[in-house]
Amino acid sequence: MINRTVLVGRLTNDPKLKYTGSGLAVATFTVAVNRQFTNSQGEHEADFIRCQMWRKAAENFCNFTRKGSLVGIDGRIQTHSYDNQQGTRVYVTEIVAENFSLLEYKNSSQNEQFEQNRPKNNGQNYQNKQNGQSSSSRNPNNPFNSMPDIKDDDLPF
């Protein structure tokens, strides 16, 4: 059986760190993950996914992230239920995060410094609007330059 989940999104609030009676650290947080498609108004919607993290990873996560941080989460889906005060059964689905990655610097000044020092791509990914070919196909450093151009008429299907 496999139960793996990978999320990339932004924290909707600062993570909350608490300790159990036995001293285990647990962090709870929500990650907003944009959907790949747009709605009828042409806007991207997001899913808000509840997560929890345990032990030292939880403490580290709370020390290095805040509301708006872009994070990668690796974990598993967990479900449970409980009866609320009205006697109604409430079902909860959340991610138990086992690993995380910080996907941008902690503050914006570091982010701006990174952007200024980042190597430029010199237009290698620029799309040529006339023929739909990327300019990287004409780049002499491109390892695929020796491949011939194939037109749609040349394909057998």
**Predicted TM-score of the model (pTM):** 0.63
Supply the pLDDT for residue 5.
93
Supply the pLDDT for residue 12.
93
Q: Supply φ then ψ for residue 58, to 5 degrees.
A: -65, -45
Residue 11, CA distances (Å) to 24, 87, 102, 103 in order: 22, 32, 11, 12
Q: Radius of gyration over alpha carbons of the chain, in Å?
A: 23
Residues 6+ apart with CB under 8 A from 152: none
Supply the pLDDT for residue 149.
62
Supply the pLDDT for residue 128.
40
Q: Which residue ranges of the chain lie beneath pLDDT 70?
A: 106-157
